[in-house]
Chain A
Amino acid sequence: MQPAQLTVIELTGHIIDSLTLAKVIDTIQAHQCEYQINDIRIGREKNDFSTAQISLWDGDSAKLNALLEQLKTYGANPVEETDIETVTCQQDGILPPNGYIRFNPPMEVKHQGQWLPVAREGQDLTIVIEPSGKARLIQVSALKAGDRLVAGKNGVKVLPTVGEMAYA
């Protein structure tokens, strides 16, 4: 089997009420590509956006590319591979403004142009970039003032945990 091509897509907007997320998932299933929903954040107020991030992979890159092209119509675009932004922890155990709670799937972060694996531990987590340059997922309660956290979603790639796949 050829190595699977992995692409992470994201869609934002009123994707629940518009049934756009349902349409995207139905479309992925119709193409018989593998997928995993990495993250869904539901807007709380009526004018809040919801966001979903989904990993897609398939051994047939032509099939995957055709799917990706169709999903663009629904506003589901590949996540842009920008570098991360960071924010500094001001108080032990307290997530600073713009800090970001992560779920606990395997992840990599793009830091200074390099994708770094993120070591995993516990729940209620956030990513810290250590002075050594390593990325670590730690519990918010373990944060120390001065820690450098990854802010937001840019430059964060969530890797799927199910299915058969290989990375180039």
Chain B
Amino acid sequence: MPSPLQENMPKTGPLQNTGKPHILMSPPDYFTVDYAINPWMIEGSVDRDNARRQWDNLYNAITQQAGAEVHIIPAVEGLPDLVFTANAAFVHDDTAIIAHYKYKERQPEEPFCEEWFRNNGYRTVTLPEDLFFEGAGDALKWQDRVFAGYRTRTDIISHQVITRETGLPVLSMELVDNRFYHIDVCICPLYDGHFIYFPGAFDEYGLRVIEANIPESKRVPVTAEEAARFACNAVNINDTVIFNKGSDRLAEELQSRGFQVIQVDLSEFLKSGGSSKCLTLRIA
């Protein structure tokens, strides 16, 4: 039976090596908050025109200021959270481990994302029905290892799949505050070894893992107020860091450490519990 997705999916072929970082985004054409699956979601609250303006500003910051190349997975009517491409997969080299969402509302996104990666030259890995894993929302590379979250959305057993399929060791971190339901809303590893994190999202074991792996000089803790403005949910492209506006103290600290910081108003997406990192997926 022909795939119902075929007519919607671009056939772009394997990624061209342009020397630029590659980012996957999906426009907010059908973005809304029709259901609440995290504590931030407020049903019916989104101004879609404003969301589109904010998404365009993020797109421009990534392409024009940070110099990355953005690939687009088309929006699909009825899948409002497809805009949050960070959750679509965990990508390492040519392998894409496709998300299997905990909530049935997001599960229809999975075949669209799997087909996009397959069409673009990736080896795709899918998970069994009873094993939940929410892509780069819950698995972030830092140097030669992966910090991965579990409990709220992702099962810890799925972390074994990351190691098995990519060879990367995984540090499993329990997310103990339901507001920080993915690890990418409470940590952000930066390209040179710096590590933004919100200590309140972890228990003593998680904090000890951070202390054991990240040199003190590279740790950048954020306050509860900054974490609630999704300061950890940042996009890092080389020495540029992009996050939601309103965290000036963090911006100044990162600038003092040599980073260029861009703050973008992403307030419409915060109504759904996502910000700049959630809206992007590094794919190469």
Contacts of B174 in A (CB 8 A): 23, 73-74
Contacts of A17 in B (CB 8 A): 169, 171, 209, 212-213
Across the interface, do A47 and B172 meet the contact criterion of CB distance under 8 Å? Answer: no
A18, B205: Cα distance in complex, Å: 8
Across the interface, do A47 and B169 meet the contact criterion of CB distance under 8 Å? Answer: yes
**A75 contacts the other chain (CB 8 A):** yes
Across the interface, do A20 and B172 meet the contact criterion of CB distance under 8 Å? Answer: yes
A122, B266: Cα distance in complex, Å: 67
Neighbour of B160 across the interface among A22, A23, A49, CB < 8 A = A49
A20, B209: Cα distance in complex, Å: 10
Across the interface, do B156 and A75 meet the contact criterion of CB distance under 8 Å? Answer: yes
A49, B167: Cα distance in complex, Å: 11
| Number of residues on chain A facing chain B (CB within 8 A) | 16
Q: Chain A 60-101, CB within 8 Å of chain B: the 1/0 string?
A: 000000000000011101000000000000000000000000
A20, B160: Cα distance in complex, Å: 13
A20, B150: Cα distance in complex, Å: 11
**B278 contacts the other chain (CB 8 A):** no
Across the interface, do B169 and A19 meet the contact criterion of CB distance under 8 Å? Answer: no
Residue of B nearest to A13 (CB): B160
Shortest beta-carbon distance, A44 to chain B, in Å? Answer: 12
Shortest beta-carbon distance, A41 to chain B, in Å? Answer: 15
B158-194 at interface with A (beta carbon < 8 Å): 159-160, 163, 167-174
Across the interface, do A13 and B172 meet the contact criterion of CB distance under 8 Å? Answer: yes
B220-265 at interface with A (beta carbon < 8 Å): none
Across the interface, do A14 and B205 meet the contact criterion of CB distance under 8 Å? Answer: no
Known contacts: A18-B209, A20-B156, A22-B205. The answer to whether A47 contacts B171 by CB under 8 A is no
Shortest beta-carbon distance, B175 to chain A, in Å? Answer: 11
Neighbour of A46 across the interface among B144, B156, B160, B212, CB < 8 A = B144
Residue of B nearest to A45 (CB): B169
Known contacts: A12-B160, A13-B160. The answer to whether A18 contacts B170 by CB under 8 A is yes
Across the interface, do A14 and B171 meet the contact criterion of CB distance under 8 Å? Answer: yes
A1-56 at interface with B (beta carbon < 8 Å): 12-14, 17-20, 22-23, 46-47, 49
Across the interface, do A74 and B144 meet the contact criterion of CB distance under 8 Å? Answer: no
Shortest beta-carbon distance, B124 to chain A, in Å? Answer: 21
Residue of B nearest to A15 (CB): B172
A73, B155: Cα distance in complex, Å: 7
* B residues with CB within 8 A of A: 144-145, 150-151, 155-157, 159-160, 163, 167-174, 205, 208-209, 212-213
Question: A-B pairs with the 10 shortest C-beta distances?
Answer: A75-B156, A18-B172, A19-B205, A46-B169, A47-B167, A75-B157, A18-B171, A23-B205, A47-B169, A13-B160
